[in-house]
Amino acid sequence: MLRVMTYFCLFLMTGCVQQHYQPIVNDSLYSIGSSNQLPEKRLTIKSSPLDVMTPKGISIVPAKYYTFSGIVTITALQRTIRLCHTEQIFNLQPDHHLIAQIKRLNQTTAYIEFKGQLNQSLNPLHQRAIISIEQLHYLSNQKNNNICKPQNTRPNFEIKGSQPDWVGYGQKNQFTFIIKGLDTKWAIKKSVITKGLHAFVETKNSAGEQLDLSFTGNGCIDSNNNYWQYETKLYLKGKQIVGCGKYPNQQDDTQAWLGHYRYKNNNVTIELALGKHQQANVIYQYSNGKVQTSNGYWHPYGSSGLKLLLTQHQGNKANIVYHFRRDGVRLQASQQWRDNQKYSFNGALFTLDRMTDEAESESFSTANLNTSTRVFQAQDVISPITTTPAINNAIKRYFTMHKTKTDNSKYWFSEYDLTGNGRKDLLVILDWCEDDGCVLLVFENDLNRYKFISRIAQVKAPLQISKTQRHQWQSLLIKDKQRWLQLDFDGISYPSSAKVKQLASDTNFTQVKLFTTALTKSNAIAIE
Lowest-confidence segment of 239-248, 317-326, 360-369, 416-425 by average pLDDT: 360-369
pTM of the model: 0.60
The whole-number pLDDT of residue 277 equals 83
Positive or negative: CA dihedral 29, 32, 33, 35 = positive
pLDDT given at position 261: 92
Residue type, 153: T
Model pLDDT, residue 416 = 93
At residue 47, the pLDDT reads: 29
* pLDDT tens digit sequence for 161-202: 765 577 888 877 788 888 766 778 888 777 777 666 678 888
pLDDT confidence band for 249 (50 / 70 / 90): low
pLDDT (average), residues 199-221: 86
What does the pLDDT read at residue 371?
A: 39
Residue 469: per-residue pLDDT? 85
The answer to which of 74-88, 349-363, 484-498 has the lowest mean pLDDT is: 349-363
pLDDT of residue 52: 34
Task: Give me the pLDDT at residue 310, please.
Answer: 94
**Residue 24 scores a pLDDT above 50:** no
Task: Tell me the average pLDDT across 46-70.
Answer: 59
| Model pLDDT, residue 415 | 93
User: Which of the pair, 136 or 47, is modelled with greater confidence?
Assistant: 136
Task: Give the chain's mean pLDDT.
Answer: 78
Predicted pLDDT at 250 = 54
Q: What are phi and psi of 296, to 5 degrees?
A: 175, -135
148 Cβ contact partners less than 8 Å away, ≥ 6 residues apart: 69, 70, 71, 84, 85, 111
Residues written for the chain: 528
Task: State the pLDDT at residue 372.
Answer: 39
> In 3-state terms, what secondary structure has residue 313?
strand
| Model pLDDT, residue 159 | 80
Q: Which pLDDT tens digit goes with each residue over 270-280?
A: 999 998 888 89
6-11: list long-range contacts, CB under 8 Å, 24+ apart.
6/52, 6/267, 7/52, 7/53, 7/343, 7/345, 7/346, 8/270, 8/336, 8/345, 8/350, 9/268, 9/270, 9/284, 10/50, 10/51, 10/52, 11/320, 11/336, 11/338, 11/343
